């Protein structure tokens, strides 16, 4: 697909969206902006899994929240001068979701100088490595959504860079959906979902905050956020800039094996040092407008730019099986990788006035442009045969995603609630790569056909879903759903003039049951089936060189992967401790895994290629305990652990699918949070232990990270923040791969101790500590089971039961 085609689609979207917005505004009366909150109920009355929505539109700026549901209330007679403890609390989303857990960032004091990747590492059961790769309960097939929708910047191989550049200050909460239901699509994968809910304006008036931070290792960032609401409209926006320098030390020991005897035929040792500099700019804006008494219009726009520069030097020695030297050389490399991401969207929400009836339309168009140019120069002390010449590589990736969805819900048969929807989506990708090598005789750079490729894909998806829920006996909630998806995937190789088409039709059920037990307890069952269709990167049959010695080749014969998820959770307050016990089981079949081998035409090159093989079974328990007051006043603690046993069969390089050798691993992920507040001082210490995990032909090592944050409130509006990331300078990553032809060990050291200090100032709005204005609640909404107070520091990890708010706007 040419760049002209992408530009034409972008221009069309920019023309259509304003027309859509203007048509919605025609001849509609206006509506007041604010709505008075109702008092909080610690334990809401029993209601269906999808509770009845109020008749009128939500206040402008919060298309998902319903009026009358708040996280706190203003005491009678409280006035503007009564101080922080008596001010009205901003509205929170209704606790009417039973399929997700919500992590609130309002009380995490590290957000002012953190990225989205940093903050995700604080979320129970979520792990993020040094490259921004995300896993949930050890499952790396995670979808990242923004406000319940796919975003191009968090798709594909550059997702880690986007997460490291995205400012945490722009995020209001993180929704963790381990067992996604029928409303969520499978276009981005079949795994669990992490939904980033961005900040939205909820109250009349103007507010803004500014933060600026500077740190060691070339770190620095600044973030400005502002919002204004008046009458029927609300507008908010933010802009953030950041820079970071990352020094990476890598070591690898490789041995090539005789497949018949297992003897070492030759080996290679490589040591590389790289410095990666990146600068990023993020901007976004949201506009909402109340049209009439029960309608709300919304529009969003976002833009980000990331520029990465990498300079490296490495040394390689290659030797024969008898240790005779075969090669000895050094190399110098440079790469420049600018990336641009954008998104525009429009939404319309109509409430009929009937209890629980709501109709929503949503349109999103997002895109990513990612270019890369690199050069490598070699200095041979002992030149091998064949040898690699100086080279120039370039790639020009493009990704566009268009989502159009409609969602409808209403009460039926007195005690039942129906939610249904439909969506059409179109995702287009282009990934050309050029490679030029220096002619040793003339010194000119000439194209190398075997290392040049081009690949295009077009993924079209149409889906419908239905969800039906009810409440029985006042304490038993049921919800069942079914989703149907039809997908057409076209993949093209322009250089070879080849095209392949794939067609998929899938029906995917989900089921949830919640029973309230006692005052604060709940027992919950979650179950769903998901499916992952192979993405364009895995289907691309071209040999795509990631460097002169590493390449990836897709497999056009890959089959979709079924993912069955089951979860049984018990949440309660036991002996004053908010406690959560979750048993889970996940089965993926047939798994898509990677196998590694040396390239037949050039044994210096290691090729990674995906293949379907066997099943991946993971069974475990997730524990979470919150102590609101530990030993002394102001000290609170949260301890979370995920203990799981994983089993899968090891991929064979020769057999059609797998070997008879079973890989097994016991994984222990542990997170400890300590928070202390005394007067104007707040302290936070977090320790994350990520256990070893399996890859297709080996293991990835465990690592531990410790972070510390101190905040001093100079005044109600001005605070000083100090962050120390990786206090003990740990977090090195090691991995091992072994099969019939290759044994490979790699070590990456790129997690330095980073100290950052900064200031944060707030204008307008409500100053002071969020835990005070939230009526004693902590950063985890809803507490165990989503009922009652909860949070890290002052409660427990929310979700289940009636908890977990819906903020993403649904998935469709």
pLDDT for 140: 78
Strand, helix or coil at 189? coil
267 DSSP β-pair partners: 255, 319
| Residue 768 to residue 778: CA distance in whole angstroms | 14
Is the Cα dihedral 434, 440, 441, 444 positive or negative?
positive
What is the C-alpha to C-alpha distance for residues 252 and 256, in angstroms, rounded to an integer?
A: 13
Structure tokens at 468: 């039906």
Q: Which of 782, 788, 790 is nearest to 807 (CA)?
A: 782
Q: What is the pLDDT of residues 97-153, one digit of tens each?
A: 678 888 888 778 888 778 888 888 888 888 887 777 788 887 777 888 888 888 878
Write the CB contacts of 703 (distance below 8 Å, at least 6 apart in sequence): 689, 690, 730, 731, 732, 733
227-231, 737-741, 775-779 — most confident range: 227-231
Instruction: Note the pLDDT of residue 482.
Output: 96
- Tokens 């002052």 sit at which residue? 794
**So what's the pLDDT on residue 3?**
55
Torsions phi, psi of 506, nearest 5? -135, 145
Q: Give the separation between CA 706 and CA 723, rounded to whole angstroms.
A: 11
Question: Measured between alpha carbons, how far is 212 from 428 in angstroms, rounded to an integer?
Answer: 37
Reference 417, options 466, 365, 485, 465; nearest CA is 466
> In this structure, how many other beta carbons lie within 10 angstroms of the beta carbon of residue 69?
21
Q: Which helix (H) or strand (E) holds 692?
A: none
555 pLDDT band, cuts 50/70/90, is confident
Does position 25 have pLDDT exceeding 60, yes or no?
Answer: no
**And the tokens for 374?**
């690199």
What tokens were used for 382?
Answer: 């002992």
Model pLDDT, residue 773: 39
Given a cut of 70, whether residue 2 has pLDDT beyond it is no
Is 807's pLDDT higher than 80? no
Q: Residue 423: pLDDT above 80?
A: yes
DSSP code of residue 151: -
Can you tell me the distance from the alpha carbon of 370 to that of 433, in angstroms, rounded to the nearest whole number?
12
Cis check: omega of the bond before 590, within 30 degrees of 0: yes
DSSP 8-state symbol, 397? E
pLDDT class for 655, splitting at 50, 70, 90?
low
Q: How is residue 690 written in tokens?
A: 């990520």
Assess whether pLDDT exceeds 70 at residue 73.
Answer: no
Structure tokens at 419: 């939610």
Residue 624, sorted as left (phi over 0), alpha (psi -120 to 50) or beta, turns out to be beta
Residue 693 has a pLDDT of 80
Are the CB atoms for 592 and 578 separated by under 8 Å?
no
Give residue-wise pLDDT tens across range 484-539. Answer: 999 998 988 888 888 888 898 999 999 999 999 988 899 999 999 988 888 777 88
Q: Could you give the 3-state DSSP secondary structure of residue 20?
A: helix
Q: Does the structure show a pLDDT above 90 at 373?
A: yes
Q: What DSSP element (H or E) covers 335? A: strand 325-351
Q: Which residues contact 144 (CB under 8 A, 6 or more apart)?
A: 134, 151, 154, 159, 163, 188, 193, 194, 196
- SS3 of 605-668: the string is EEEEEEEEECCEEEEEEEEEEEECCCCCCCEEEEEEEEEEEEEEEEECCCCCCEEEEEEEEEEE
Query: pLDDT per residue over 243-267, tens digit each?
Result: 999 899 999 999 989 888 889 999 9
Per-residue three-class SS string for 715-784? CCCEEEEEEEECCCCCCCEEEEEECCCEEEEEEEECCCCEEEEEEEEEEECCCCCHHHHCCCCCCECCCH
Mean pLDDT of 779-786: 38
Residues near 41 by beta carbon (within 8 Å), at least 6 away in sequence: none
Distance CA 293, CA 679 (A): 45
Kindly tell me the burial class for residue 326, based on how many C-beta atoms sit within 10 Å of its own C-beta (0-12, 13-18, 19 or more): middle
Whether the Cβ atoms of residue 461 and residue 487 lie closer than 8 Å to each other: yes
Give me the mean pLDDT over the 39-58 stretch: 39
Least confident of 20-29, 207-216, 697-706: 20-29
463, 812 in Cβ contact below 8 A? yes
Burial class of residue 308, CB neighbours in 10 A (0-12, 13-18, 19+): buried
**Which of these, 41, 268, 302, lies nearest to 147 by C-alpha position?**
302
pLDDT digits (tens, 9 = 90+) for 334-349: 999 999 999 999 999 9
Residue 78 pLDDT: 35
Shortest CA distance to 64 belongs to which of 283, 282, 286?
286
On whether the CB atoms of residues 282 and 163 are closer than 8 A, the answer is no
Q: pTM of whole model > 0.85?
A: no
**Apex CA 102: angle with CA 101 and CA 107, to 5°?**
145
Task: Tell whether the model's pLDDT for residue 96 goes beyond 60.
Answer: no
Other C-beta atoms lying within 10 Å of the C-beta of residue 631: 7
The answer to whether 100 and 799 are in contact (CB under 8 A) is yes
**Three-class secondary structure of residue 793 per DSSP:** coil
Token digits of residue 721: 């923040």
Answer yes or no: is pLDDT of 19 > 70: no
**Residue 777 reports pLDDT greater than 80:** no
pLDDT digits (tens, 9 = 90+) for 299-343: 999 999 999 999 999 999 999 988 899 999 999 999 999 999 999
**pLDDT at 417 (0 to 100):** 94
- What fold, for 229-765? Maltoporin; Chain A (2.40.170)
With a cut of 70, say whether residue 628 has pLDDT above it. yes
Nearest to 303 by CA among 168, 162, 197, 196: 162
Q: What is the pLDDT of residue 11?
A: 58
- Region 694-711: mean pLDDT is 84
Alpha helices (H) in 75-156, listed in sequence order = 116-120
pLDDT of residue 106: 78
Helix (H, G, I), strand (E, B) or coil at 479: strand
Of residues 511 and 558, the one with the higher pLDDT is 511
Measured CA to CA, the distance from residue 623 to residue 733 in angstroms comes to 26
Q: What is the sign of the dihedral through the CA atoms of 603, 609, 611 and 617? A: positive
pLDDT of residue 372: 92
Comparing 42 with 372, the larger pLDDT belongs to 372
**618 alpha carbon, distance to own chain's centre:** 21
What six digits make up the tokens of 281?
Answer: 């700019």
């Amino acid at each position: 697909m040419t760049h002209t085609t992408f530009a034409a689609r972008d221009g069309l979207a920019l023309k259509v969206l304003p027309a859509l917005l203007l048509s919605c505004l025609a001849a509609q009366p206006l509506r007041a902006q604010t709505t008075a909150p109702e008092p909080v109920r610690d334990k809401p009355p029993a209601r269906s899994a999808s509770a009845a929505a109020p008749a009128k539109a939500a206040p402008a700026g919060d298309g998902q929240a319903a009026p009358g549901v708040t996280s706190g209330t203003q005491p009678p007679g409280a006035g503007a001068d009564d101080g922080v403890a008596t001010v009205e609390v901003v509205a929170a989303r209704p606790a009417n979701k039973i399929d997700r857990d919500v992590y609130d960032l309002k009380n995490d004091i590290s957000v002012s100088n953190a990225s989205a990747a940093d903050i995700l590492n604080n979320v129970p059961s979520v792990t993020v490595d040094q490259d921004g790769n995300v896993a949930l309960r050890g499952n790396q097939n995670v979808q990242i959504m923004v406000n319940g929708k796919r975003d191009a910047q968090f798709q594909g191989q550059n997702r880690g860079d986007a997460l490291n550049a995205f400012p945490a200050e722009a995020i209001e909460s993180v929704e963790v959906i381990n067992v996604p239901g029928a409303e969520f699509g499978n276009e981005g994968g079949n795994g669990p979902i992490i939904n980033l809910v961005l900040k939205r304006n909820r109250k009349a008036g103007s507010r803004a905050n500014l933060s600026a931070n500077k740190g060691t290792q070339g770190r620095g960032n600044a973030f400005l956020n502002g919002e204004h609401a008046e009458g029927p409209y609300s507008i908010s926006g933010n802009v953030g800039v950041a820079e970071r320098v990352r020094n990476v030390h890598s070591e690898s020991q490789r041995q090539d094996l005789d497949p018949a005897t297992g003897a070492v035929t030759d080996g290679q040792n490589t040591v590389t040092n790289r410095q990666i500099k990146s600068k990023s700019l993020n901007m976004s804006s949201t506009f909402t407008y109340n049209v009439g008494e029960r309608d709300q219009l919304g529009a969003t726009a976002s833009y980000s730019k990331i520029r990465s520069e990498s300079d490296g030097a490495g040394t390689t020695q290659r030797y024969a099986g008898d240790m005779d030297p075969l090669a000895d050389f050094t190399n110098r490399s440079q790469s420049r990788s600018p990336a641009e991401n954008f998104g525009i969207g429009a939404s319309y929400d109509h409430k009929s006035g009937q209890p629980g009836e709501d109709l929503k339309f949503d349109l999103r168009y997002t895109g990513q442009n990612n270019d890369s140019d690199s050069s490598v120069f070699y200095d041979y002390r002992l030149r091998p045969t064949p040898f690699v010449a100086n080279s120039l590589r370039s790639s020009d990736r493009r990704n566009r995603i268009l989502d159009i969805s409609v969602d409808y819900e209403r009460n039926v048969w007195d005690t039942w609630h129906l939610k249904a929807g439909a969506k059409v989506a179109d995702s287009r990708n282009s990934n050309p790569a050029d490679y030029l090598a220096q002619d040793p005789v003339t010194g000119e750079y000439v194209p190398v056909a075997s290392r040049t490729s081009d690949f295009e894909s077009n993924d079209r998806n149409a889906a419908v879903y239905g969800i039906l829920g009810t409440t029985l006996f006042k304490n038993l909630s049921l919800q069942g759903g079914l989703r149907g998806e039809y997908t057409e995937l076209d993949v093209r190789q322009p250089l070879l003039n080849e095209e392949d088409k794939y067609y998929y039709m899938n029906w995917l059920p989900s089921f949830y049951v919640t029973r309230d037990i006692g005052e604060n307890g709940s027992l919950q069952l979650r179950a769903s089936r998901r499916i992952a269709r192979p993405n364009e990167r895995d289907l691309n049959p071209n040999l795509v060189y990631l460097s002169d010695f590493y390449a990836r080749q897709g497999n056009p014969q890959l089959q979709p992967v079924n993912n069955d998820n089951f979860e049984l959770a018990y949440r309660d307050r036991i002996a004053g401790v908010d406690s959560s016990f979750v048993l889970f089981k996940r089965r993926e079949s047939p798994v898509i895994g990677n196998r590694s081998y040396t390239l037949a035409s050039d044994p210096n090159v290691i090729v990674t290629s995906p293949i379907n093989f066997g099943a991946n079974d993971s069974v475990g328990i997730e524990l979470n305990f919150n102590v609101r007051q530990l030993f002394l006043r102001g000290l609170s603690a949260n301890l979370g652990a995920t203990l799981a046993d994983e089993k899968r069969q090891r991929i064979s390089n020769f057999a059609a699918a797998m070997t008879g050798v079973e890989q097994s691993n016991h994984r222990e992920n542990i997170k400890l949070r300590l928070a202390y507040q005394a007067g104007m001082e707040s302290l936070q210490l977090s320790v994350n232990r990520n256990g070893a995990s399996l890859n297709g032909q080996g293991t990835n090592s465990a690592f531990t990270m410790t972070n510390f944050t101190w905040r001093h409130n100079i005044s109600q509006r001005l605070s000083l923040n100090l962050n120390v990331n990786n206090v003990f300078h740990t977090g090195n990553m090691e991995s091992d791969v072994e099969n019939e032809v290759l044994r490979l060990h790699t070590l990456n050291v790129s997690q330095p101790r980073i100290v950052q200090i900064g200031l944060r100032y707030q204008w307008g709005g409500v100053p002071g500590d969020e835990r005070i204005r939230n009526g004693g609640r902590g950063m985890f909404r809803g507490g165990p089971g989503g009922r009652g107070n909860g949070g890290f520091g002052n409660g427990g990890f929310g979700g289940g039961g009636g908890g977990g708010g819906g903020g993403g706007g649904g998935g469709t």
